[in-house]
Amino acid sequence: NAGVTQTPKFQVLKTGQSMTLQCAQDMNHNSMYWYRQDPGMGLRLIYYSASEGTTDKGEVPNGYNVSRLNKREFSLRLESAAPSQTSVYFCASSDGTLVSNEQFFGPGTRLTVL
């Protein structure tokens, strides 16, 4: 099992460009999450999907959109990248309910917006 995979691993964008971060899990988990991690700020939840077909905003959703394509895949889109979106992005998944189960994380995408 690959667990949670993310692509790309690194990306450099110019202000105003768009891109989609891809995430897939092979553990048949119901819940999936997108976080960003900035120095000194810890992990902050951008969007989550408690089950296939549903998505909800987290703590910092502005500037992002998500799609739960199927049970395996949960993508994060930046429509018009800004330097403030320079960060490390982690995708995670978990079985069962949102808070009662271990989250498994992907290796992260390191995004720089110039």
Partner 1 sequence: RKEVEQDPGPFNVPEGATVAFNCTYSNSASQSFFWYRQDCRKEPKLLMSVYSSGNEDGRFTAQLNRASQYISLLIRDSKLSDSATYLCVVPGGSYIPTFGRGTSLIVHP
AA letter at 32: M
Instruction: State which of residues 23, 24, 33, 34 lies at the interface with partner 1 (CB under 8 A).
Output: 33
Q: For residues 19 and 43, which CB has a smaller minimum distance to partner 1 in the complex?
A: 43
CB of residue 57 to partner 1, shortest distance in Å: 10
Q: For residues 4 and 81, which CB has a smaller minimum distance to partner 1 in the complex?
A: 4
- What distance lies between CA 54 and its chain's CA centroid? 15
Q: Is residue 35 involved in binding partner 1 (CB under 8 A)? A: yes
Q: Where are the beta strands (DSSP E) in the chain?
A: 4-7, 10-13, 19-25, 31-38, 42-49, 56-57, 64-68, 74-78, 87-94, 104-105, 109-113
Q: Is residue 34 involved in binding partner 1 (CB under 8 A)? A: no
Q: For residues 11 and 17, which CB has a smaller minimum distance to partner 1 in the complex?
A: 11
Q: Is residue 53 involved in binding partner 1 (CB under 8 A)? A: no
Among residue numbers 62 through 101, which ones bind partner 1 (CB under 8 A)?
A: 90, 97-100
